[in-house]
Amino acid sequence: MLDPVLRGITGRSLGGFVAGPWRLVPHARVPYSHVVPTDPYQRSIDTLPLNRRAIGFSIAVKRLLSLVVVLVTATAPLELSVEASPPASDFSGTSASVDERVIPPEFVRFGVTEFPDLRLENAVAVPERGLLFGTWPDEGRFVTLDIVTGRLRAGDQVPFYSSAVVAGNGRAAYLSESAAGAEQISRIDLDTLRSTPVTNVRDIGLGEESTTKVALLGDSDAVVMATRNGIAAIVDGVMRPSIWWTPDALPLGLSIAALAPLDETRAVLFAGTDQPGREIYIVTVGDSGVESVEPIASDDGATFPFVVRPGEIVTAQAVYDTDGRQLRDTTPFDLARDDPSIPLRYSWSDNRLTIFDARTGSALVSGDAECFQLDSLVLLGDGRVATGFSVATRIVDLAVVCGSLGEFTSLPPTRLLDTRIDIGADGRGRQPVEGGETIRVHVAGNAGVPVDAHSVVVNVTGVRFEKSPNGLGFVTVWPSGLDRPTVASLNLIEGNTLGNSVSVKLGADGSVDLFNSVGAVHLVVDVFGFYSSTFGAGGSRFVPLRPQRMVDTRIYGGRLGPSESFTAGDLSIGATVGDITPGAVAIVANVTAINPTTTGFLRLHADGSPLPEGSSMNFPAGRNVNRLVTIDLAGGTDFEVWNSAGTVDIAIDIVGYYADNPGGMRFLGLAPYREFDSRASSPFDGDGSIPPGAGVEIRGYSPGLAIVANLTAVRPDGPGFATAIALQADLPPRRISTSNLNFSGSVTGNQAIINLPSDIHYDGDFVLYSSERTHLVVDVFGLFG
């Protein structure tokens, strides 16, 4: 089954990148140019991959997130401009021509995008071409909407029509229109959007009332029409001889309940008289028109639902074969609607949505149908529906919105890889990872991670790093099977054992790849939790918080000695875990090691649980280091902190938690990409580094998201801190009181969760601040939404 990806999550990136994606804050915008370093050794000195096309790549990726269907991979970005788009009713040309404009989709929430200025009537899907066809009442014209690009094409003026069907090849639609007191069948060419009348129902003797049912037979462009008075066919655009209901043939005054195609030459008619029950008829069409109408079964079912599949005719009561033999009683699986593209079926009743595997009949998702707004639902294929037409046109990925994709399950820290003792490296021996070498770690199915997990939270540690010409290096972690991205997940300094938290999507084989840039290093990977796939077991959702300091041993508690531990609640300088994170199963915290006397590491684990094998963070002697840490609470409300060596002060800021909260956020792991690199391009003069106290705004995301990124400081002038924080659109910048990254030395990185609130004061932008002059790099690994 496809693992759908958020569509439309960066809708604001579809335009507006006129002078570059950044501006100074709070000062006026200044011109800038892409900075090309003059030092030929800069790549090795910086120890971060330098991509001088970072701007184009990051914008392309963000645009693609709005446009791709299944994977965020290499696809040419589509240039859509919000500013360049005319008002909703502004088309050029006349109704005799096809006019075009673009309505960029906007992110609404996880798995939902919206075309806010577009209301459609009588919409039908053209899954073969990724289109919606219907009428736009604001213009009174036929339109097609490309649901990926937002390209809207308008054609002829349109009368009222009661139903529409699309030919199997996606090139034409047939409409049952009201025209001059009788129904008219017209053919719409979906390329030219020109309407051609085919026949008037009254003129062929089928009556004047608006009760015509229309069905198309496969790809043959043959049309069957049925009314209370008879049945007729249009073959290759030409009206063919018809059959009228007569007492000698079929009952007069049939109530036509449904008409559906069966194959290239036959349709199924579900009709009856005023008496209870319905008859099922097989209508056969040849080159000469309607050849026969044969009753095959009687059914006592209600009018709807009525489903026809190859070899099966489904009513509310029973399932029949095409000879009229009853096969079985009807089940919810039989009545579920088929996805046009992938083997899924959808059923909604009693306010519940069920998604079935069409191959096995097993229910993949079953839950409250209020996970989306049901309004004239149209199946688009690939797990998507269009809905909400009365207000706007929304594209909803049912499996994503109503499934478990991105829900979190916390795990006790468990070791996946340790090259020092040949754990998890596929028998490569106790060998370090050499410079330029990539190793693969199979995650799914190991250490408590299920085989269908979507993403994982791991801590990656570099041990005994050596042989680097300048003592520096980096490690990249990314989904297996994809090209190695230009990002750094962990920075290495010779003589130091350093680690970093990484949230990473798993590859198609359930693995991740790790690349070492230079020298040689042993790698250790510990898993702390996983995010579910679309149809995986459900988990918890993330609730972001404004950072709240819970522990600071400089204020209360004193320094932590070797092999000593404390319970966080006992040293709380404010609210406890239970107060800050009600109902939490795990918490996310920025943990800072302050003035450690020697190299060491911390283990953070649930209160009362055994000391885990994996480390939560590592720290070098004499340097303040902070790390984003996920802490499993194991059903409790507190956690312990254990120190391995030396003495150290600890500060803990709670930045979010996972809980059974329907309003929480789910995680989407992406193919990592570089969002910003001041060495490659910067709004500041000189070498492009960020001056103290200045800010750089990163634009193009949507409110209501939280960005999971690695924030790295390169060549700072001195020790300091950096912060990435949502920019308040109509208010002056807030005083910065917390940090995502503490830095000193040549290069320091830390994972950050950058929350972009959805209230009126925020528009999806965030700003980077630094307390000391430094280069800053932002690499994005995923999004909460």
Range with lowest mean pLDDT among 46-55, 86-95, 173-182, 215-224: 46-55
Q: Give the model's pLDDT for residue 207.
A: 53
CB 733 within 8 A of CB 776: no
Adjacent-strand bridge partners of 189: 172, 194
What pLDDT, on the 0 to 100 scale, is given for residue 10? 31
Percent of the chain with pLDDT over 70: 78
Q: Looking at the predicted structure, is the pLDDT value of residue 25 above 50? A: no
Mean pLDDT of all residues in the chain?
79
Report how far residue 185's alpha carbon sits from residue 204's, in angstroms, rounded to the nearest whole number.
11
Residue 645 has pLDDT above 90, yes or no: yes
What Cα–Cα distance (Å) separates residue 321 from each residue in 308, 310, 359? Answer: 10, 9, 19
* Beta-bridge partner residues of 5: none
Q: Tell me: the pLDDT tens digits for 616-636?
A: 999 999 989 999 999 999 999
**Cα 261 vs. chain centroid, distance in angstroms?**
34
Residues 720-765 have pLDDT tens digits of 999 998 887 655 555 566 789 999 878 999 999 999 988 777 778 8
At residue 736, the pLDDT reads: 60
User: Cis omega before residue 683 (within 30°)?
Assistant: no
Residues 6 or more apart from 271 whose CB is under 8 A from it? 226, 254, 255, 256, 257, 278, 279, 281
What pLDDT digit, counting tens, does each position of 425-468 carry? 777 778 999 999 999 999 999 999 999 999 999 999 999 999 99
Place of tokens 């900075």: 35
Q: Which amino acid is at 434?
A: E
Neighbours of 39 (CB within 10 A): 10
Whether the Cβ atoms of residue 25 and residue 733 lie closer than 8 Å to each other: yes
> In DSSP terms, which residues pair with 709 in a beta bridge?
752, 780
pLDDT value, residue 352: 77
Lowest mean pLDDT among 105-109, 479-483, 700-704: 105-109
Give pLDDT, residue 584.
92
| Residue 494 tokens, joined | 């010779």
If you ran DSSP here, which 8-state letter would residue 759 be given? S
pTM here is: 0.77
Q: Does pLDDT of 307 surpass 50?
A: yes
Half-sphere exposure of 111 (CA within 13 A, CB side): 24
According to the per-residue pLDDT averaged within each range, which of 105-114, 288-297, 522-531 is highest? 522-531
Q: What is the pLDDT of residue 704?
A: 87
Residues 550-593 pLDDT 10s:
999 999 999 999 999 999 999 999 778 888 888 899 999 999 99
Residue type at position 459: N
Q: Which segment of 8-17, 223-232, 500-509, 620-629 scores lowest on mean pLDDT?
A: 8-17
Mean pLDDT check: name the lowest of 45-59, 123-137, 473-487, 672-686.
45-59
- The conformation of residue 579, written as its DSSP 8-state character, comes to H
The 3-state DSSP class for residue 179 equals strand
Cα 167 from chain centroid (whole Å): 31
Read off the pLDDT of residues 702-717 as tens digits, 9 standing for 90 and up: 888 999 999 999 999 9
**Residues 648, 619 contacting (CB under 8 angstroms):** yes
Mean pLDDT over residues 661-689, rounded?
92
Q: Which amino acid is at 222?
A: A
pLDDT of residue 26: 32
511-516 sheet: strands from edge to edge: 438-442, 511-516, 472-479, 490-493
Q: Is the pLDDT reported for residue 648 higher than 60? A: yes
Cα 91 from Cα 644, distance rounded (Å): 69
Q: How far is it, in rounded angstroms, from Cα 785 to Cα 774? A: 31
Which pLDDT belongs to residue 729? 64
Q: What is the pLDDT of residues 584-612, one digit of tens each?
A: 999 999 999 999 999 999 999 999 999 99
Q: Quick one: tokens of 378?
A: 């149209």
